[in-house]
Amino acid sequence: MRVCFVTQTFPDWAGSPRGVFIKRLADLLQARGVAVAVVAPRMLRGSPEREVIEGIPVYRFPFFSDGSLLFEAKRVPARMVAYMMNGLLYTVAATLYHRCDLIHAHWVVPTGLLGLLAGRLTGRPVVASAHGTDLLVWGRKRGPVGRLASATLRGVARCTVNSPAIAEVAIQCGLQRERLVEVKETGVDLARFAPSVEGEAIRRRYYIPEHAVVVLFAAHLTSVKRPDWMLRAFAGLRHVTPCAHLLMVGDGPAMPDVRRLAHSLGLGDSVTLAGSARHESMPAYFAAADAFVLPSEREGLGIVLMEAMASGKPVVAARVGGIPSVVGEGTTGLLFGRDDFAGFARALTELCTDAPLRRAMGEAGRRRAEAEFGETQQVDAVLRMYREVLGVREPTGAHSPQPASGATTET
């Protein structure tokens, strides 16, 4: 089986943090005998137009990017023409050159439409994946973008969604329920993200005191992730627990504001701004933490929450999007209302001042990850979808299950 991915984000180089979960799905599918070619926009001026990343051919089409996604850029309409025309040309060419059986479009807006048009031109069936923002923001808009999202959902053979919340939005936008497939993205590598991973090296690297209660925040630093909420709530926590330490992993346009706010709040050495980290190093960051926090105002699923739970860490997050389908409220973590800053601060303080609660929630999170979030379950669902669309029979014999033990493995 051969599949062409068309996606709005993909690693810019081997090890790049951008779009790592799309890359991971391609890796897992190739390990199962599916040949994957990828078409993505060229985000950085120095990125090659064509290359092979760890066995995956990648084609990057130009659209006058300034390093931003299409809808993050200024003057979106001016860039949309180049994006759609070049994206369509590259997708058709890659599909034909690699003799792909199927096109898999990641994000309904804008790449879902690219996939659908390429499918019409090449005679290939098309499936799409709604990852969150595409439907939560753009799919709900009135006007041309909303209509294009609805047309795309009506035209694809199947559409994966990562949570019941996204499923309902997809159906409201026109997707037929029988074409809907729930997949929690790529799931989590339960051997790599595990309670047995050591985190002492991370604590030593950033000079975090041995007795400190470490709160981990890991995200692309934009206003949507609300790093300002994180810093303000942490400042309040420090009055109750002076030994608390905030470890912020990630970079982005909000980084200058984050630095200024941390300074103005007088947080000093109690906050570490670690910058971007390779995804391969994230298990050690989780291991170094006592709790994981994600106060996003909008989130399709929150793969990072599943990784935290697999690592045996309790979480605090907003009750938005697909998060309640991942976090067991009161069992694996604490949730707060989307606009309830006081509730967020209370939840953070409660978790960071109650070690037995952290331990119990962390253990419950690991159990849930083993039962529901493993990579094997998610990739199995994607493969079943491909076979149904192509009319291919299920192979005899079950795929060996992913290990769920806490032992780490070399990758």
Mean pLDDT of the chain: 90
Contacts of 144 (CB under 8 A, 6+ apart): none
C-alpha to C-alpha distance for 100 and 379, rounded to whole angstroms: 19
Mean pLDDT across 120-129: 97
What does each C-alpha distance from 98 to 28, 112, 298 come to in angstroms?
19, 20, 37
Q: What is the pLDDT of residue 357?
A: 98
Checking if the pLDDT of 349 tops 60, the result is: yes
Q: Is the pLDDT of residue 124 over 50?
A: yes
3-state secondary structure of 16: coil
Give residues with Cβ within 8 angstroms of 119, minimum separation 6: 103, 125, 126
Statement: residue 146 has pLDDT above 90: no
Q: Note the pLDDT tens digit of each residue in 239-259.
A: 999 999 999 999 989 999 999
Compute CA distances 269 → 151, 209, 255, 266, whole Å.
52, 10, 17, 9
Confidence of residue 266 (pLDDT cuts 50, 70, 90): very high
> Rg of the chain over CA atoms, in angstroms?
21
Domains for the chain: give ranges and CATH numbers. Answer: 2-187+374-390 (3.40.50.2000), 200-371 (3.40.50.2000)
pLDDT band at 403 (very low <50, low <70, confident <90, very high): very low
62 alpha carbon, distance to own chain's centre: 24
Cis peptide before 57 (omega within 30 of 0): no
Residue type, position 321, single letter: G
In the chain, the amino acid numbered 259 is R
* pLDDT band of 47, cuts 50, 70, 90: confident
Q: What is the dihedral of CA 372, 374, 375, 379, to 10 degrees?
A: -30
